[in-house]
Amino acid sequence: MKHPFERVRGVRVREGESLSKHTSFRIGGDARYFIYIDSRRALRRILEISRRDRIRYFPIGAGTNVLVADAGYDGAVLKLSGVFKRLRRKESVFWCGSGVLIEHFLREATKAGYGGGEFLAGIPGTLGGAVKGNAGAFGHAIGELVVAVHLMDEHGLELVRAKSEIMFTYRSTDIDHSRIITAVHLRLKKKNRRIIRSKIERNLSIRRVRQPVGYSAGSFFKNPPGRAAGELIDTCGLKGMSVGDAEVSRKHGNYIINRGHARAADVVELAERVRKAVRKQTGVALEEEVRLLS
């Protein structure tokens, strides 16, 4: 049976694709459609068809900050490839497709002798996802580097928003979920390559010491103002708490780990128990950083 995207050029469509293979949690049901998109023209056509046929869509990067429901996603999951993975530089400004991995961006910037983004070292994911969620660490966030963001809306119209037109807040922006980030412009500073590499390695070393291994989505809760979510969870004695095969990491309280066979429902229930316990014992209301896709 043909699907509505059958005649679109520059895409690869998989029906009933397991989303557990596309997320760092390794959890989740199937997507109705999983679409690899290689060009802006193809993306525009996919969005037009989705709007016409009332098909929901969700752009996914490296799947590092999302928890997919056990029932999956009855819509189109969009994976930007092809031109969306290109990177080029003009002096200190890097033009990056939204599908470029953070790791690749840092590697190319270091080769060119440009720094300022070393705090991103060790953060998994793509630049599009990083900008959408204003990812950061060590007291910095990617919004500090942004010059402009290219977007495509649900009608397939392209627009560019300068940094001054975007509200960057802690682990969030005001970029509407219906708009897809297609490219970002980031400004770095000319630096000594040896110093850049040293700082990146130091940050990676800190992460290796602090962060647990295993299937997770990284920090599950946002840090409340002036507090650290992991410390609050630790203080409340919640490390090691589990539901099914989902467990609060014994190494870092703000990580929920899939021990191998956890369901999304297990993670959701465990997160709710943690939130209630922290609220009861400290009066602090934790807010999820991880997005639930259902």
Q: Are 203 and 122 in contact (CB under 8 A)?
A: yes
pLDDT band per the 50, 70, 90 thresholds, residue 1? low
Whole-number Å distance between alpha carbons of 80 and 60: 8
pLDDT tens readout for residues 213-256: 999 999 999 999 999 999 999 999 999 999 999 999 999 999 99
- In degrees and rounded to multiples of 5, residue 97 shows phi and psi of -65, 150
Contact between residue 26 and residue 45 where contact means Cβ atoms under 8 Å apart: no
Q: In what order do the strands lie in the sheet with 57-59?
A: 11-18, 30-37, 73-80, 57-59
> Is the pLDDT reported for residue 72 higher than 90?
yes
Integer Cα distance of 115 and 89 in angstroms: 13
Q: What is the mean pLDDT of the chain?
A: 96
CATH 3.90.78.10 assigned to 212-293: yes
Q: What is the 8-class DSSP label of residue 220?
A: -
Torsion over CA: 6, 8, 13, 19 (sign): negative
Residues with Cβ within 8 Å of 74's Cβ and at least 6 positions away in sequence, in order, are: 32, 56
d(CA 209, CA 66): 24
CB 57 within 8 A of CB 165: no
Q: Tell me the pLDDT tens digit for each residue of 20-62.
A: 999 999 999 999 999 999 999 999 999 999 999 999 999 999 9
- Asked: is 11-82 a CATH 3.30.390.10 domain? The reply is no
The residue from 14, 44, 171, 207 that is catalytic is 171
Q: Is the pLDDT of residue 211 over 70?
A: yes
Return d(Cα 32, Cα 25) in angstroms, integer. Answer: 20
Nearest to 18 by CA among 65, 71, 58: 71
Tokens standing for residue 252: 């870092």
User: Does 292 have pLDDT greater than 70?
Assistant: yes
Read off the amino acid at residue 265.
A
Class of domain 86-209 (CATH, top level): alpha beta
Catalytic residue among 40, 219, 247, 275: 219
Asked whether the CA dihedral 245, 67, 229, 272 is positive or negative, the reply is negative
Is beta strand 114-115 parallel, antiparallel or unpaired with respect to 158-162?
A: unpaired
Q: Where are the domains of the chain?
A: 11-82, 86-209, 212-293
Asked if 289 is an active-site residue, the reply is yes
Q: Are 230 and 146 in contact (CB under 8 A)?
A: no
Q: Is 171 a catalytic residue?
A: yes
Q: Give how far the C-alpha of residue 166 lies from the chain's centroid of Cα atoms, to the nearest Å.
A: 18
Q: Which residue type, as a one-letter code, is found at position 257?
A: I
**Residue with tokens 């780990």, as numbered in its chain:** 257
- Concerning whether 219 is annotated as a catalytic residue, the answer is yes
